[in-house]
Chain A
Amino acid sequence: GAGVSQSPSNKVTEKGKDVELRCDPISGHTALYWYRQSLGQGLEFLIYFQGNSAPDKSGLPSDRFSAERTGGSVSTLTIQRTQQEDSAVYLCASSLAVGGRNEQFFGPGTRLTVL
């Protein structure tokens, strides 16, 4: 079966523009996560969705960042008024169920460059 897919693979934008990053999780996975990987901060959690529960947004760095998950499947991470410090690789992951022992499967990431 297909793994987690993300699009676009690369995105170059100008400072101040809005961007949307898409994640398609593995079919049947109820949990979906967004992480950010940057040189200065390493890998950091952004947001987590589980079924119909309210998402855990505790990792979002500012109110310019938002995410939604439609129909319990596809997710979109939106960054408004992008800044140069937003340049990073944005990774999406999904897992079959909740619980500490459940493995998260990662997509290839979207490399965002803000000029």
Chain B
Amino acid sequence: AQSVTQLGSHVSVSEGALVLLRCNYSSSVPPYLFWYVQYPNQGLQLLLKYTSAATLVKGINGFEAEFKKSETSFHLTKPSAHMSDAAEYFCAVKRGQGAQKLVFGQGTRLTINP
């Protein structure tokens, strides 16, 4: 069975600092990987997705993630945090072309300090 592990349920950074949110997956076949963001009282919004086209994926709002097969990781980064980045972030995986269900990590709440 596939699973997703997000290291750190809470991450706090200063405005302007690097954001690094960690995600590791376990899958027996190359997966499709996604990062979603959830602002308070809202649904999930896709930040970016890995679909095997390129290992470095650029998303919205200045976020990017790098797929590293050797480390089974798909960490999310942003060079300079903005106050508006405060939200909860979810890493998710789908296994293979036929898979439909998203399997989510537990989420990481990002706090930005002024």
Contact = CB atoms under 8 A, between A and B. Distances in A.
Nearest to A58: B101
Contact of B99 (A93, A100, A107): A100
Q: How large is the interface on A (under 10, 10 to 19, 20 to 34, 35 or more residues)?
A: 20 to 34
Nearest to B46: A103
A42 B5 CA distance: 12
B43 A106 contact: yes
Most central of A31, A50, A91, A104 by chain B CB within 10 Å? A104
A50 B100 contact: yes
B82 interface: no
Given A100-B32, A106-B45, A43 B100 contact: no
A111 to B, nearest CB: 8
Contact of A42 (B32, B34, B43, B107): B107
Interface of B: 31-32, 34, 36, 41-46, 49, 51, 90, 92, 94-107
Given A43-B107, A45-B101, A91-B43, 20 more contacts: A33-B101, A33-B102, A42-B107, A43-B90, A43-B102, A43-B104, A56-B100, A59-B101, A91-B44, A93-B44, A98-B98, A100-B32, A100-B94, A100-B100, A101-B32, A101-B51, A101-B97, A103-B34, A103-B46, A105-B46
8 contacts: A48-B100, A59-B101, A93-B44, A100-B32, A100-B100, A101-B32, A106-B36, A108-B43
